[in-house]
Amino acid sequence: MNKPINILGSVQINEWNGNQSPQLIIQDIAMNEQQILDYRSKRKSLPFTENDENIVVLIHPKSDKVNANEYYYGEEIKQQTDKVVLRDLPTSMEDLSNSLQQLQFSQLYIVLQHNHSIYFDGIPNMDVFKKCYKALITKQETNIQKEGMLLCQHLSVKPDTLKFMLKVFLDLNFVTQEDGLIRINQQPDKRSIDSSKVYQLRQQRMDVEKQLLYQDFSEIKNWIKSQLS
């Protein structure tokens, strides 16, 4: 591995058949370099329990805190430990950076739990958004439960992508939704699609996935090291 280590031990004389030779009795070994360990695979399990008070566990802000050693990405961390676990995928790289800058550790375990990946679904281009909005205007009132799949076929998108687009329209107040009915707002404000918070959060999520799930692990390690104070 070619990495420096510190060894705690003692030297004793070993005697066998009249021959004497020095013998090093090792009591403890410590590595000088911080270890950043890849535990993203579901086949890997942590070599300790997460509720250990000597471990800091970073979690997604929508997760419930179960133990006192759990912190949301980006919030103030009030303890320092040797071990840190990135349990959940963060909301943004900025939040992760903020947390890393507060920490001093010898081992960092990268787990990054998440329900599903959106990276390869991407974000619809503006032409698809326009086509969707035009279809909604034509109908004026759309029953998503009954007509959602037809709209997906018309746009050539997956149901999850359609849901995302409708959330963007709702966020921008282009439409309203009540009892499963999408209705056009007759006097919407003039706002760009990419000004939507929903749209921006998806961009952030895709950036997080790109950098933490699909990038070479050596690049991930280098980025993490660059964020440490």
Q: What is the mean pLDDT of residues 198-216?
A: 97
Are the C-beta atoms of residues 12 and 197 closer than 8 Å to each other? no
Are the C-beta atoms of residues 76 and 99 closer than 8 Å to each other? no
Give yes or no: residues 138 and 173 share one domain.
Answer: yes
Backbone φ and ψ for 149, nearest 5 degrees, come out as: -65, -35
In a domain, 156, yes or no: yes
Position 41 scores a pLDDT of 87
In a domain, 75, yes or no: yes
Report the SS3 class of residue 160. helix
**This model's pTM is above 0.85:** no
In a domain, 2, yes or no: no
Is the predicted pLDDT of residue 211 greater than 80, yes or no? yes
Give yes or no: residues 188 and 169 share one domain.
Answer: yes
Give yes or no: residues 142 and 171 share one domain.
Answer: yes
Q: What is the mean pLDDT of residues 27-35?
A: 63
Position 31 scores a pLDDT of 52
Is the predicted pLDDT of residue 179 greater than 60, yes or no? yes
In a domain, 61, yes or no: yes
Position 187 scores a pLDDT of 92
* pLDDT tier, 182 (very low <50, low <70, confident <90, very high otherwise): very high
Give yes or no: residues 159 and 178 share one domain.
Answer: yes
Q: Which neighbouring-strand residues pair with 14?
A: 21
* pLDDT tier, 26 (very low <50, low <70, confident <90, very high otherwise): low
Give yes or no: residues 76 and 139 share one domain.
Answer: no
Give yes or no: residues 76 and 134 share one domain.
Answer: no
**CA separation for the pair 63, 111 (Å, rounded):** 15
Report the SS3 class of residue 89. coil
**CA separation for the pair 176, 170 (Å, rounded):** 6
Is the predicted pLDDT of residue 2 greater than 80, yes or no? no
Are the C-beta atoms of residues 151 and 162 closer than 8 Å to each other? yes
Give yes or no: residues 103 and 39 share one domain.
Answer: yes
H or E stretch at 162: helix 159-171
Give yes or no: residues 152 and 90 share one domain.
Answer: no
**CA separation for the pair 50, 67 (Å, rounded):** 8
Q: What is the pLDDT of residues 61-97, one digit of tens each?
A: 999 999 999 999 999 998 888 999 999 999 999 999 9
**Geometric angle at alpha carbon 196, from 195 and 198, rounded to 5°:** 145
**Residue 136's domain spans which residues?**
126-204
Q: Please tell me the total count of domains within the chain.
A: 2
- Which residues have CB under 8 Å from 226's CB, separation 6+? none
In a domain, 214, yes or no: no
By percentage, how much of the chain surpasses pLDDT 90?
Answer: 74
In a domain, 93, yes or no: yes
Do β-strands 83-88 and 175-178 pair in parallel, antiparallel, or remain unpaired?
unpaired
Is the predicted pLDDT of residue 195 greater than 80, yes or no? yes
